[in-house]
Amino acid sequence: MPKPPSGQRTLAVVFGAAVRPDGSASPALARRVGYAAAVAQADPNVDLFLSGGTGAYPPSEAAVMADLLAGAVSAERLILDEDSVDTLETVRAAAAHARANGYAMILTCTDAYHQPRVGMLFRLLGLASRPVRLAARGPRQLRLKMWLREGAAIPYDLVAGIGAAWRGRA
């Protein structure tokens, strides 16, 4: 795990995933939160930026993450972004928060197939980020489907990210 200079703060951005019809976390959301909790528990200088609005089922992805973290990470270290509904919105919100609050490092907590797009968007907005490595889970066919979906999403977000950076709306 990359470490910032001693005493400086790190923002770990936890990207949302589906909430189930009963309001519980999907396996992907629970896995991302579990890794984020481990990062925050290992270093008291890490704050967690929990991102994800309300999708098909309430509550918001960010609220579900905060509930999962109750008792594991203090509420003062949790930043809830319940407005972002896609990857670019999350990166823009996290970048603005990181700049406004002087974070020395950004970690990204999402599945491996999602990390290239996330890293690209942070770079387009002028910030470096480092991935938290999550173990691959789920059937091979599902993982392949997700990699293919990301391959299609990268060109779209490349254009959208360049536009956001050019307009200075990061």
3-state per-residue secondary structure call for the chain: CCCCCCCCCEEEEEECCCECCCCCECHHHHHHHHHHHHHHHHCCCEEEEEECCCCCCCCCHHHHHHHHHCCCCCHHHEEEECCCCCHHHHHHHHHHHHHHHCCCEEEEECCCCCHHHHHHHHHHCCCCCEEECCCCCCCHHHHHHHHHHHHHHHHHHHHHHHHHHHHCCC
Q: Pick left, alpha or beta for residue 154 (phi over 0 → left; psi -120 to 50 → alpha; otherwise beta).
A: alpha
Over the chain, what is the mean pLDDT?
A: 90
Average pLDDT over residues 64-68: 98
The structure tokens listed for 157 are 């977000």
Q: So what's the pLDDT on residue 3? A: 58
Q: So what's the pLDDT on residue 170? A: 45
In this structure, the chain runs to a length of 170
Instruction: Name the percent of the chain lying above pLDDT 70.
Output: 89
Smallest CA-to-CA distance from 15 within 72, 76, 73, 92 is with 92
pLDDT tens by residue, 96-154? 999 999 999 999 999 988 999 999 999 999 999 999 987 666 667 766 776 678 777 88
